Structure 1
Amino acid sequence: MNITGSMTQVLLIEDSSQIGFARRTAQRLAEQNGFGESDAGRVALVATELASNVLKHALRGEIHLRVLPRQGDNGIEMIAIDRAQGFDLDACLTDGFSTGGTQGIGLGAVARQADVFDAFADQRGAVLLARLYPRSDRQPDLAYGVSQHSLHNDPACGDVWHLAYHNGDISAMIIDGLGHGEDAERAARAGEDAFARAPFSAPTLLMEDLHRDMIGTRGGAVAFAQFRADRASLTFAGVGNIGASLIAGGKSRGLASHPGIVGGQYRKAQPFDYAHVNGHLLIMYSDGLQSRWNLQDYPGLAHRHPAVIASVLHRDFCRGRDDVTVLVVALEAAHG
């Protein structure tokens, strides 16, 4: 299964009229992706409660929307993000706790409507995740999360990400085309096409394939990681400034890339192998994200859903002067 990356749709929530807009936008996205009336209604309900919760306790924030591609029916992901202090997550999860402008069903009821619900809150703010799938689709949720945004909301994004799942194995990639805008995106998409054809092939050959297909474009930074479930091992290859870390047990290991530009000039990318990584988190990110983050500064965050982790890192460490992508993958045997 190949998952072609897409940008995160951001809905600003700072007045009550935007609650209705968020509801309609999420419901329409669900309907466009095969959700029936009842399932689309669940999406609308969850969007309404998440947006209302943001407005009530934080006064302003965002709802991040994206489609979750799957082999069967697609899913819908909604993430409420704010920077409010003192959010009482336990109270909000209690049925009957009114978030203002709603029936007061509480986030506990929202959690029951969603197929996946997770949250993280501290003095920096709150991130609430809801993933919904058609009730007829019983496939397991894939444990990854991504937050991708273009500079100044440009419709073109020079960052591209891609995920491949096969018999429990996972291959994850980020390309950052040089600069930003259409030419940067064209370079990155050329590399993604090459990656998608053979995401589990030998790393050195795969990087050469990307290089060949990116010649004639601006080129870019490339990194990919291949997880082999049967060996619980990870192979990482990178050229340029894509950051990557393996995290487990409160410890973080940085994954090294080589200098150069894929599609331009680089020396052969020597891959690095990492053993015993089952249960680890893989975090990859373009240089639109600052590299000085440390998950230990967020007690408990490493145990939250990867989509929550990606959103927290984007919220707190986005540079704001380039396209940005944060991809978080739980390294565990997955079916796809």
Structure 2
Amino acid sequence: MEALSEPTCLPVAEDVTWIRVEEPAEAGRVRRAATALAERLAFPAARVAEIGVAVTEIATNLHKHAREGVVLVRSVRGTTEAAVELLAVDGGPGIRDVGLAFEDGHSTTGTLGVGLGAVNRLADSCAITSRPGRGTALSARFHPRRGPHAEFPEDVAAGVTRAIGGEEVCGDSYAIRRSPGRLSLMMCDGSGHGPLAATASQAAVRLFCSLSPTAPEDVVARIHRELRGTRGGAVAVAEVDLVARTVRYAGLGNIGAAVVGDGQKRGMVSVPGVAGYQARTIRAFDYPLPDDGVVVMHSDGLTERWTVEHDDDLMSAAPLVVAGSLLRDAGVRKDDACVLVAQTY
């Protein structure tokens, strides 16, 4: 993992739209959403066309071969450049031979004749995890131009958000801060739904990213004070020490969190309260971080009953596709949802 010289919350992802792909016409919706985003970000016309080809293949494949397929279209922004990113998730049947599916020229749909190989070839980065019978998650990122992208370091942590049905904005937010030998993770679940919940959670993000690195319990206390006058919400901060192999965690309210490693899932403790309203005690707890450790945080839009099997290699996949898989498997439809995944090896 390449360490950064200064703490930074960049790049920042913005989830633009989720599109359920159940009818052929919805593949066109996905393509239009992705290419429109690329045009807004001032991508060259040739690159927009390439994104259209890759996105059409992803969405058509979902319709032809998958169950309950959805696609997230989002932007990932650095200081001077932005990328278009897609996350496609389905509920099965899964791909038995991922390597074959990614061979250029192998058609998974019987229509385009290019298969997922085109996605891999046209994207700047691409990741997939697929488990027969359980489903597939695939991510693809497209920059305006090919070549090195210094503002986008190795993706060791990633998150996704999804608004409750009927709302255009999600009231849950997260932030990731990198510094040499450390990862700092923050999540806020704004109380309720919609714009007012989003206002509270985004205030937490802004404060977190403006603070110098300090103890998680102190950050949570600062966010608690910052959210007075807003709807407030649940908030949690995890400080991951990649050298000492420890996680110091402070949570206020119903943010779920766990350290996954050595084939086990160990939950981390949040204390009762609502940031901005009630916080009788703010405490931090320390947890060991296995060599293969993965830190997962999520709002109560996901049930905490998700499990990790000893023979399941999900946690070794790219963080974004892990987050998408957990949202698919543990997400509940009656609430905003947010999940954040950080790999520490």
Q: Same-fold call, TM > 0.5?
A: yes
- Gap change, CA 1:317 and 1:306, over 3 Å in 2: same
State the 1:189 CA deviation: 2.4
TM-score by length of structure 1 reads 0.89
2:270 partner letter? S
Q: Residue 320 of structure 1: which of 310, 327, 333 is its match?
A: 333
Q: Is the 8 A contact 1:199 1:206 kept in 2?
A: no
Alpha-carbon contact 1:239-1:257 (below 8 Å) kept = yes
Q: Note if contact 1:53-1:100 (Cα within 8 Å) is conserved in structure 2.
A: yes
2: CA distance, partners of 1:320 / 1:226: 30
* Equivalent residue number for residue 2 of structure 1: 9
5 Å-filtered alignment, 1:163-174, equals 163-174=176-187
Q: Which amino acid aligns with 2:36?
A: R
C-alpha separation in 2, matches of 1:11 and 1:89? 26
1:30-77 per-residue CA deviation (whole Å, 9 max, x = no partner) reads 232343233333322211110111122126622111112234522222
Q: Report the counterpart of residue 196 of structure 1 in structure 2.
A: 209
Distance 1:171 1:268 in 2: 21
Structure 1 residue 103, shift from structure 2 partner: 3.2
Alpha-carbon displacement from aligned partner over 1:123-158 (angstroms, at most 9, x marks no partner): 022222212233144333322232211111412322
1:114 maps to what in 2?
123
What is the SS of the residue equivalent to 2:138?
strand
Which residue of the other structure, out of 115, 127, 141, is the alignment partner of 2:137?
127
CA contact (8 A) 1:144 1:307 kept: yes
| 1:208 to partner: Cα distance | 1.9
Pair 229,86 (structure 1): closer, same or farther in 2 beyond 3 Å: closer
Task: Give the whole-Å Cα distance in 1 for the aligned partners of 2:52 and 2:25.
Answer: 15
The aligned counterpart of 1:16 is: 24
- Structure 2 unaligned blocks of 5 or more: 1-7
2:145 counterpart of 1:138: no
Residue 279 of structure 2: aligned partner: 266
Deviations 1:283-324 (A, max 9, x none): 100001011101218721111111111111111211111111
Q: Percent identity?
A: 33
Cα RMSD after superposing both structures: 2.3
Q: Is the 8 A contact 2:159 2:323 kept in 1?
A: yes
- Structure 1 position 276, deviation (Å): 4.4
Out of 45, 54, 58, the residue aligned to residue 37 of structure 1 is 45
Corresponding pairs, count = 332
Match of 1:295 in 2: 308
Structure 1 residues 164 and 279: CA distance shift in structure 2, 3 A = same
Give the Cα–Cα distance (whole angstroms) in 2 for the partners of residues 138 and 194 of structure 1.
27
Map of 2:230 onto structure 1: 217
In 1, Cα distance between the equivalents of 2:231 and 2:122? Answer: 45
How far the C-alpha of 1:102 sits from its partner, in A, is 4.2
1:25-174 equivalences under 5 Å are 25-58=33-66, 61-85=69-93, 87-90=95-98, 91-100=100-109, 102-121=111-130, 122-133=132-143, 134-139=145-150, 140-174=153-187
Aligned-partner residue type, residue 239 of structure 1: L
Q: Say whether the 8 Å CA contact 1:5–1:162 is kept in structure 2.
A: no
The SS at the match of 1:224 is strand
Q: Which deviates further from its counterpart, 292-301 or 251-260?
A: 292-301
Is the 1:159–1:185 Cα contact (8 Å) retained in structure 2? yes
Give the direction of change, closer, same or farther, for the CA distance of 1:59–1:329 in structure 2 (3 Å limit): closer
Q: Is the 8 A contact 1:158 1:178 kept in 2?
A: yes
TM, length-normalised to structure 2: 0.87
SS of equivalent to 1:263:
coil
Asked if 1:182 is matched to 2:192, the reply is no
Do the aligned partners of residues 278 and 210 (structure 1) sit closer, same or farther apart at CA in structure 2, a change above 3 Å counting? Answer: farther
Per the alignment, in what secondary structure is the counterpart of residue 247 of structure 2?
strand
The answer (yes or no) to whether the contact 1:72–1:137 under 8 Å persists in 2 is no
Q: Check whether the contact 1:233–1:278 (CA below 8 A) recurs between aligned residues.
A: no
State the SS of the aligned residue for 1:151: coil
Q: How far is 1:237 from its partner?
A: 0.8
Distance 1:274 1:60, change over 3 A: closer
1:154-212 CA-to-partner distances (Å, cap 9, x unmatched) read 12322111122233532111111222223322222232222221162232322221111
Shift in Å at residue 19 of structure 1? 2.2
